Chains A and B, each alone.
Chain A
Amino acid sequence: MNETLMRATMRQRVTSPVRVTLLASVFLFPLLVIGASPATGFTMLGSGYALTLVIAAGVIGQDVSSGVLQLLFARPVKRSEYVISRWLAVSLMSAMLATLQLAIAVLLMWSRHAPPQTREVFEQLGNSICVAFGAGAVLTFFSSLLPGFGDLAILLVMAFTGSGLDGIGQGFHLPVLSRIGDEVGHFVFPSLPLSSLLRGGGTPWYEIVAYFSTVTLCLAAAILIVNRKELSYASSS
């Protein structure tokens, strides 16, 4: 972990006007809906995936396509440290924004006499933080594969493939296909089953292991891919 790299990543994320505009929309829109209709509860906030998506898109690919990576790796910076720092920076930013958004949502609901339950708030908070770190890792991996915002293209293709396979599997009663679709979904949208853990059901060990497995696999793969990148001032990627 390199604090300078983390700070630089966070600064980079808030200097793009397009990203800031998108972030403001994703941050404010659910709050406006909750303010107007507190009965919607936390449904509008979702899992915070949208926030992570906007913050983490192009987390490595953007550096590759803009030529920053060539300059950066001319210095004695460990590539693994670079990947981990970028992941931590975007994940922490997403988690902090999701927490702030939740705090404002709770205040709005309180002010409109529809207070959420404490357990609901903690569950939402935990989910948002887990999604921030999980989705951050997935996008870091995808971003190491393609320059620019190619990670979003991979994400879209995988998300559609997952839901398509799941739908076909259920429609044609092919459990194997459905399971593969489910697995792709677990990989693209990693989250911890906090509801089950906090509400007294059986411990869903598979979902817990799948989350940590996805995060570690994505980070390890991203480091290996960045390690293998041959960058020069003459290269286009």
Chain B
Amino acid sequence: MPRAPESPTGTRNTPRTLLWIAGVLLLIRIGVGIFEAYHPPEPADRVNWRPIASAEGLAAATSKPILYDFTADWCPPCRLMKGEVFGDPDQAERINHLYVPVRVLDRSREEGHNAPEVAQLQSRHDIQAFPTLVVVRAGSEPQVLTGYPGKDMTAQWLMEAASGIHRRRSLRDSIAFAPRDSVLAPRDSILH
């Protein structure tokens, strides 16, 4: 039996506009889902990086170690680490929870020099290549990871460094420690 036409004053009106919008969005969702399966968007850096100036005060107030990420815009392994580690929601949440994260961006190649606080930190921790992660905890020796040994090993190192297991590694040790596909970009100073 055919249904009676809907009355404009009825209480059971079909939400035609909403149904249209839902249908169109569902189609777009399927299309975009297929597209992004082959062209995934670049992950955003989800770590809450703190300014260099406020890091030590914050570390003292929260009793967390500071995680310095010595990096540079031109450095390909740094971009890889940014996407794979700092762009991963779980890893980023862990870093935000365990550390006071501070990004120390090298601008010497672009601008010819670095900001004094950046130069001072690089000199204090003897940074020879990018990326380098340094964990500084009050009253103990800094822990250093030079190069990017891949997502899993970096995550493992970050967990262990938070509990103070590692000690400083030299650049040579870091390369030996890192798996075969580990990557790092030497600073200009050690190239010349």
Contact = CB atoms under 8 A, between A and B. Distances in A.
Interface string A201-232: 11111100110110011011001100100000
Contacts of B21: 216
Interface string B72-102: 0000000000000001010001001100000
A40 interface: yes
Contacts of B44: 195-202
A217 B13 CA distance: 17
Interface stretch (B24-32, B142-150, B177-185): B24-32
A41 B12 contact: no
Contacts of A213: 22, 25-26, 28-29
A38 B12 CA distance: 51
B15 interface: yes
B14 A224 contact: yes
A80 B41 contact: no
Interface in B58-72: 58, 61-64
A7 interface: no
Contact of B93 (A43, A112, A116, A202): A43
A73 interface: yes
Nearest to A223: B15
A73 B26 CA distance: 31
A80 B93 CA distance: 40
Contacts of B61: 38, 112-114
Contacts of B64: 39
A213 B26 CA distance: 6
B126 interface: no
B46 A199 contact: yes
Given A213-B22, A213-B28, A195 B46 contact: yes
A117 B102 CA distance: 13
Nearest to B31: A209
A77 B11 contact: yes
Given A114-B62, A205-B32, A43 B45 contact: no
B36 interface: yes
Contacts of A171: none
Contacts of B43: 196, 201-202
B45 A199 contact: yes
Given A43-B97, A216-B21, A209 B15 contact: no
Contacts of B188: none
B11 A212 contact: no
A120 interface: yes
A14 B50 CA distance: 40
A207 to B, nearest CB: 9
A39 B62 contact: yes
Nearest to A208: B32
B42 interface: yes
Q: Which of A119, A179, A227 has the most CB of B within 10 A?
A: A227
Given A39-B62, A113-B57, A202 B42 contact: yes
A220 B15 CA distance: 7
A200 B93 contact: no
Contact of A76 (B11, B18, B26, B36): B11
Q: Which of A43, A114, A117, A197 has the most CB of B within 10 A?
A: A114
B19 interface: yes
Q: Which 3 A-B pairs have the closest CB atoms?
A: A201-B44, A202-B41, A39-B62
Interface of B: 9, 11-15, 18-19, 21-22, 25-26, 28-29, 32-33, 35-37, 40-46, 48, 50, 57-58, 61-64, 87, 89, 93, 96-97
Given A114-B61, A202-B42, 8 more contacts: A39-B63, A43-B96, A80-B13, A113-B57, A117-B50, A206-B32, A213-B25, A213-B26
21 contacts: A38-B62, A39-B64, A41-B48, A76-B9, A79-B12, A114-B61, A114-B62, A116-B48, A195-B44, A200-B44, A204-B36, A204-B41, A205-B36, A205-B41, A206-B33, A209-B28, A209-B29, A213-B26, A213-B28, A219-B15, A224-B15
